[in-house]
Amino acid sequence: MTEIEQRLAELRELGLYRRLRMISGPQGPRVVLDGKPVLLLCSNNYLGLADHPRVRQAAAGAAMRWGVGAGASRLVSGSMTVHRRLEEALADFKGTESALLFGSGYLANMGVIAALAPNGHVFSDQLNHASIVDGCRLAGAQTTVYRHADTEHLEWGLRQAAGAPALIVTDSVFSMDGDVAPLEEICELADRYDARVMVDEAHATGAIGPGGRGVVAEAGLQDEVDVIVGTLGKALGSYGAYVCCDETTTSFLLNTARTLIFSTAPPPPAVAGALAALELVREQPRRVERLAANATAMRDELIAQGLGTGPSCTQIVPLVVGDARTALRMCDAALARGVFAQAIRPPTVPDGTSRLRLAVMASHSKQELQTAARALAAAARDAGQTLEPPRQLERPARRPARVSELFDGEAIQRPARAA
């Protein structure tokens, strides 16, 4: 047995082995998975726009007009009209001076952090996405990972680094727990300690805030946040990413962000599809309202069935079971009942917190979600989970509470978890 074969065997033994599942057709509320029709509860196609006719037509038209690929980096072979149109629309949507497209959210976070913090100090939330973690590594900056949503710990770290250029980086909606960062407190600290703030709105754009403009807009912090990163591949149903900021920062990134300079530009069909999706979000704000209503309905029914939903206050709903093998058993039991809810295991989440991560879509019906909640409760029992008795509904607030215990230890000098 080779070393690679041994490592694969270990992953299987630990319940951490991964494999691809085959889906037929588009990412709608229902799909055919490995030949079986199921309700899809693990797609980030939050508004159901990935297969919307206008989005499809826009992508097809762009392929006929501009071709399938961009050919090279925009700095090498030139920028296409469709790229500029989407950047202008995104900047207007987010309320910033300008925007800049990247090939993916991973490339955007890595490139921006590395460009903005090569010799400074980065403060990163403990549960930030892996792309932020790797951006800190690429920057080579001193990195302090503060406890999740703990602004007292963050302030402690900022005091220790007083005098050094500082960048605070956080997700706005955290992808595995569905909770929201305390952006008001973070911006207050940034102002007090003269730090920049960078917010990743990947799971908030199109899903949270007025007209789907995100958590930053919901909190009225557009003038306080220096850089907003987001993706085109979730609520906007396409592929690629953007960075919204002032014109000076855009010019700086255009000249220093390696993941932009050395990557082929996003393909025209994906860009045109995202532009059409953004237009739909602006024209049809009820989609965002429907998503929020569906997320509430899903959490309520899960709680009624005896399943805890953690700190979620968004369309992302975690069902934490703990052991990785138990999560796999629950996933398989749910599939047998016609519900596809993916098991999420380490290193995506910390040891002992394996879960089914549910992603609600605006295109689900409430009846589908209620039926799915009952199927998930039955799957949990099949997997050996003890369900809680039904209790009075307790909906978490949008903002996490402050951590009251002051941190008096040493700064954590380790990378955050992957996601």
Look at 202-216, 359-373, 374-388 and tell me which has the smallest mean pLDDT.
374-388
Residue 148 lies in a domain: yes
Does 367 score more than 50 pLDDT?
yes
As beta bridge partners, residue 98 has: 245
In a domain, 326, yes or no: yes
In the block, residue with structure tokens 């409430």: 366
Segment (H or E) for 77: helix 74-77
Residue 407 is predicted with a pLDDT of 31
User: Rounded distance, CA 15 to CA 125, Å?
Assistant: 27
Would the pLDDT of 360 be above 70?
yes
| Predicted local confidence at residue 388, as pLDDT | 74
pTM above 0.85?
A: yes
Q: Tell me: pLDDT of 245 over 80.
A: yes
- Average pLDDT, stretch 71-76? 92
Question: Is the CB of residue 261 less than 8 Å from the CB of residue 72?
Answer: no
Over 50: is that where the pLDDT of 413 sits? no
User: Count of alpha carbons within 13 Å of 366, Cβ hemisphere only?
Assistant: 9
270 and 359 part of one domain: no
Domain boundary among 283, 312, 332: 283
Instruction: Looking at the structure, tell me whether residues 326 and 275 fall in a common domain.
Output: no
Instruction: Express each pLDDT in 329-351 by its tens digit.
Output: 999 999 999 999 999 999 989 99
Q: Are both 289 and 278 inside the same structural domain?
A: no
- Specify whether 291 is located in the same domain as 261: no
- 238 is known as an active-site residue: no
One domain, residues 190 and 250: yes
**Whole-angstrom distance, CA of residue 95 vs CA of residue 217:** 8
- Is there a single domain that holds both residue 207 and residue 92? yes
pLDDT (tens digit per residue) in 80-127: 999 999 999 999 999 999 999 999 999 999 999 999 998 789 999 999
Q: Looking at the structure, do residues 163 and 290 belong to the same domain, yes or no?
A: no
Same domain, 295 and 235: no
What are the CA-CA distances from residue 143 to residues 119, 134, 403 (Å)? 11, 11, 21
pLDDT greater than 50 at residue 415 = no
Q: Whole domain around residue 336: which residue ranges?
A: 16-50+285-382
- The predicted-structure confidence for 305-331, as pLDDT tens digits, reads as follows 999 999 999 999 999 999 999 999 999
Q: How many domains does the chain have?
A: 2
CATH number of the domain to which 304 belongs: 3.90.1150.10
Is the pLDDT score of 78 beyond 80?
A: no
Catalytic residue, candidates 43, 175, 312, 354: 175
Give the domain CATH number at 145.
3.40.640.10
Tell me, yes or no, whether 418 lies in a domain: no
Of 83, 148, 153, 234, the active-site residue reads 234
User: What is the enclosing helix (H) or strand (E) of 340?
Assistant: strand 339-340
Query: Has residue 4 been placed in a domain?
Result: no
Last residue of a domain, one of 248, 267, 283: 283
> Starting at the edge strand that comes first in sequence, how are the strands of the sheet with 316-322 ordered?
316-322, 354-359, 343-344
pLDDT level of residue 398 (50, 70, 90 thresholds) = low
Quick check: is 310 in a domain? yes
Where residue 15 falls among pLDDT bands split at 50, 70, 90?
Answer: confident
Same domain, 170 and 132: yes
User: How confident is the model over 163-214, as pLDDT tens digits?
Assistant: 788 999 999 999 999 999 999 999 999 999 999 999 999 999 999 999 999 9
177 and 278 together in one domain = yes
| 415 vs 345 pLDDT, higher one | 345
318 & 190 share domain = no
Q: pLDDT grade, residue 77 (50/70/90)?
A: confident
Among 266, 283, 300, the domain boundary falls at 283
The label of the residue with tokens 């050395």 reads 262
Q: What SS3 class is residue 297?
A: helix
Would 419 be classed as within a structural domain?
A: no
Is residue 67, in this structure, part of any structural domain at all? yes
- Told to judge if 203 belongs to the known catalytic residues of this protein, a careful annotator would answer yes
pLDDT, position 399: 54
The token pair that represents 332 in the structure block: 């398989």
Helical spans, DSSP H, in 206-358: 215-218, 247-256, 258-261, 268-283, 286-304, 324-336
Residue-wise pLDDT for 268-309, tens only, equals 999 999 999 999 999 999 999 999 999 999 999 999 999 999
Domain assignment present for residue 203? The answer is yes
Percent of the chain with pLDDT over 90: 80
Residues 203, 263, 363, 364: which is the catalytic one? Answer: 203
Same domain as 295, residue 149: no
Round the average pLDDT of the chain to a whole number and report it.
91
